[in-house]
Each structure stands twice: as structure tokens, then as C-alpha cells.
Structure 1
Amino acid sequence: MLKQNARKKGSAYYGGYETVCRFSWKLNNPAGTPQKCNLAFPLPASRAMYDEMPATLNGMDVLPQMQLKDATLMLARDLQPNEALDFRISFKSRGVSFWYFQVREAREIRDFLLTLTLPDLPKARLNYPGSCMTPTDIQPTNSARGCVLTFRLDHAISSQGMGVALPSLPQPGEMTNAVLGETERAWLLLFAILASTLALAQVRHAVLISILFGAATAFAYGLLGDFSDLLFGFLGTTGLILVPLLLVLAKLLTRVTRGTAIKALALLFLVIGILYPCAAGLDSGRQTLYLNLCAVGSLGFMAWVLASRLRNRSEEQTRANPAAQPG
């Protein structure tokens, strides 16, 4: 049985587990004469802890007689003609990231059965280490919260192992880091839209205003990273700091000049400044899609502003030149 038990080292979390392993081998001496044999049980790792480890041979405790050499338990024994052996060993241990079992010797594998019970890992979240065969059968546990993997081999030769890889765990600051990774693109889009729209609207000091709003937006993103790590986490910092700051900036933006275009610019400022980095950062599979949507929306908005500006200028010229009017 393998049960997940996450570990923390520093500020990072790792997919740890606790295991209860039970192994049983049945062997026999096919020769009609006495033989000397060495039973060898390789331990999973040389620098690990193994607790509650009984080892029995035909029901007798043989652990005190076994020697530990090169991370392998070994037992030397004289075999009688046609003697059958029933060797059993079990232990409790812990590990990180994956559990792996392999028949190391290149030999025929006969009557082999390995059952791996995962009480808290459902089939939908299963993953396997590299060079690992898939199970022969997968069944849900009685609670339906986990699954039972069964590996069956008979008259087989294989260099592949059997096991399971634990799912990766969310790390502290992972959401914040993902969102901040998209803020650079968001900031560039915002600055381009601000500078272009304010210039087309013939706002005084358009470049200076664009720089000030760009610096304030970068400051808000910086606070998101700082306070996410120190106090509130990602969601708290977004709700208490990032969103209010950008709302204030959008409100100030509507005071720069009048008109429908500046109100639409304030709305687009909020969409690209808040929604885009959050959506692209938290939905990594569609990052390019969100960027393209924002870019197309920005181009469409600036095209509309430019067309409106040219139309207004044409109307002004027409009114200024009555001779151009018909009649």
C-alpha cells in the first residue's frame, strides 16, 4: 500500500509517500542433491529507513541471520534435495516523487504478481515513471477515492519496471509567479494603447501621461508580487491591492479628457491590466489565445479611434469651408 504524504523542504512542497510493502517468494530445489544457496533481497535504497521489517523463511524468523551488504539483505543456506522455500519479508518506509519496482536480473519471470494499492490516488491522476510498464489491471478501491494496480507476468523477460509517479503539488507563490509572468506583455500592450489613444485624442503631454500610467501599473504589479509572498497570498493581494489600484488608475484616466473613446480606453485598461494576465497565467494551455485576443482587440480599438478622429477632422474641414457644401 502506498499513501501520499507531502513533504516540505524550505518553502517548497514535494510529493512524498508512506508505504507498507509485503513480498513473498516461493522457491524449490529441483536437484536431487543438497545445494548451497544465497537468498538476496535488494533494498530499494541504501540510505533509507525501513521499519517493522520481519523476514521469515518457512515461517521461521531469519532476519537476525541475514547480512546487509551493498544495500542487499543476504541469507546463506543449505538446501536439501527437492526442498521448497517460502520466503516472506515486509517493511514500512517512505519516499518522494515515485515508487518503482524492477526485477534487476535478466532472467525469466514466472508466476509473478504485484499488487499496488493507492488509497488516495484515483485512476484519473495516475502517472508512471520512465521505463515503466503499464499495469495489467486497474480497479477502484472500495471507497472509490483510489485505485489498485495489478501487474501479472508469467514466462516473461523484461527490463522495464513497475510503479507509479506521484502528481506534482502546487507550490507557494505558483499562481502569483504565473500571473506575473504575463504582466510584461500586458504592460507593453497597455503602454502602446495609452500612448496611441492619447496622441490621437491630441491630449496635452500624452507621452508623459502614458509614462506615468505605465509606471503606476508596474508599481501595482510589483505590489502584487511583494504582498502575495508576505501577507495575503495571490487572491487576497489581487482583491485588496491590484484591483483597487487599477480601478483608481482607470478612473483617473477618464479625467484626462472627455469623450466615448477615453471611457472605452479605461475599460480596455482594466481588461488588459487585470483579466488578461490572470487568465493567461492561470490557464497556461491558452496563453497565446488570450494574448492574441487582447492584441486584436487593441488593434480594433485603435483603428476605431483613428477612424473617429479622421471622420471628425473631415467634418470640421467641411464646416470650415462652406463653399464645399452643395447648393
Structure 2
Amino acid sequence: MGVDLPNLNLYQLRYLREAASAETWTAAAANLGVSQSALSQGIAELERRLGIVLFERDGRSRRLTPQARDVLAYAEAVLAQTSDLARHIARFNSGQAGTLRVGMIDAAFLYMLPDVIERFRCEHPAVDLRLVVRPSTQLLQECRRGDLDVAFVVAPDGELPDFAGALTSTVVTIEQLWLCVAQNAEPAPTSVADAAAIAQSGERARWVMYPATSRTRSIVDRGLARHGLAAAGLGADVAAESGNPRVLRQMVELGLGWSVLPESVAATAANIKTVGTEPIAERPIVAARRADAPADARAAAFLTLAESVTHQSGFSNPTR
């Protein structure tokens, strides 16, 4: 059978603890910031609710009764745990505790945000950081369901799917995508116009590309069309596909075909050259969150780090 708890509050437990530890009730009242009569009334009310006598007179002073010592031990335990809870909530609200669930595309994990992850873990050691790496479409679905707190995804033209206003986004960086070929490629274009001429000739260059259903592929295809490369017949001439830009870079180095790669990925390859004087396309990387998600200091801190680090690393400034 359950036992009904007396209707107690933390103030009453503090009164008991202070009255038991201070030399006099006058000192106890001063420590609590209340009058002595308020302290006496609080103790009397606590005794009434507990149904026991807590203090007995010993000459001019008061001392705890034997049964009150057990009550005091419980009171001190409750107050200590309450203090622990208050500290935890303060740390949680400041972003120094709790869990942060972050999703990102592989490019973000591989070369855009690893420093962000490292710094966040260093600056927020008590936060349980959970990471998943998936394609943008899956990440957005998980974010919409509330399975992720923030997702770093590709957004064509910087816009997310409407989702009936379920998501909001912040542009973190804009990545330039360049036409890339192997140093010893045959045929070997010297400019984008030259590449377009080769693509439309009988030689018909082969390509290694992002998956046909991916957001990045959509951006790349539109960029190629703007530069007269739409006639390359991408659907028929794609030798291989991968959503990982470093895998595509390796394929280009192996001579499997041309590709359109992020500038930072192409720049680290000794056997690849970029073609032309301007990028084929730009791909916005955005941080998506649920529109109705409560304010989250952990997500805000991670996003601030992401914006700072990507800017310092030389990625395009999204505010340009």
C-alpha cells in the first residue's frame, strides 16, 4: 500500500537544516534572510505536516529530537539532490550538458566539419554528441521527425523543400564545384568551352558523377547546362557514381572520367587539374532544424562553430 507524502516544500527543509546547524535560531533566521518569527512558524508548520516534534527546549536553546535527526538526514539528501538538479539544468540551458544529435552529408563529415566536431567535443565535454552521416534527403526526413537536432545538407539554390514550413535553415557555406580531369586525360580540355566542344564531338568524354537522384547532381547538371555541357549525354556516359567527393576524385585520378568536384577536394589531388576560370556550379550547404524546435544552446553552439570554422577554412562566405 502506498504512503501519502506530506505536502512539503524546499523552504521548509531549508528551515530545518539551518535551524539544526546554526548556533541560535536568530542566526539561522539571519542566514535564511527571514525573521525569527517566520522561521518559528515555518518549523511549526513542518512539524504539523510531519506529525512529529522536531525540536525540544534545552534551557534557553533548542535541540533536535531523536526522530528529527532522521528527518534532517532525508532533508539534507533532498536538498543536495535539488542542488545537483539546479546545476544540471543550468549547464543544460547553457549548452554544457545534455545530448546533441547532428546529421551531415559525407562531405561535411570528411572535410568541412571535422574541426568543428573536435572543437565542440573539447569545449563541451559533458555533451553527448551523436553523429549520423547520410544523404541529404534522409537527413531532412529525420530532422522533420525530430530524430535530429540539426542536419547539414545540400540545398539547391539555398532552399529546402517546403515540408509545409516544418523546417528552417541557415546557409553555412557555399561550395564551389569545378570541372576536373586527370592530368593525363585524353581528351584533355583546356577550357570549359573546349570541354563542351569535346563533349559534343565524336570523342564524347565519359563522366564520374554524383548519384542521379542526389541534390548535388541536380546542381551539377544545371551548371553543366549553363556552360554548354548539357549535350554530354550524362545519362549514357556516366561510368561510375558516388556520393562521396573523395571517391569521385580517386576515380578521376584513375582516369575513369571527368567530374565536377568541390574546389577543396580537387586542390588536394596531385594528378587532377581544374578546367576553366570559374566554377561550373555552387552548392549551398545549410544547417536545417525543425521550425517548432525549442531553443537549444548545444545546437546553437555547434552551428556558431560551423560558421566560424568553414569561413576560416576558406569556404565561400554565405553572406556575400
- Bigger RCO of structures 1 and 2 (CA < 8 A, at least 6 apart): 2
Could you say whether these structures have the same fold, taking a TM-score greater than 0.5 normalized by the shorter chain as the test? no
Indicate the structure with greater strand content.
1
TM-score under structure 2 length normalisation: 0.28
TM-score under structure 1 length normalisation: 0.27
Larger Rg: 1
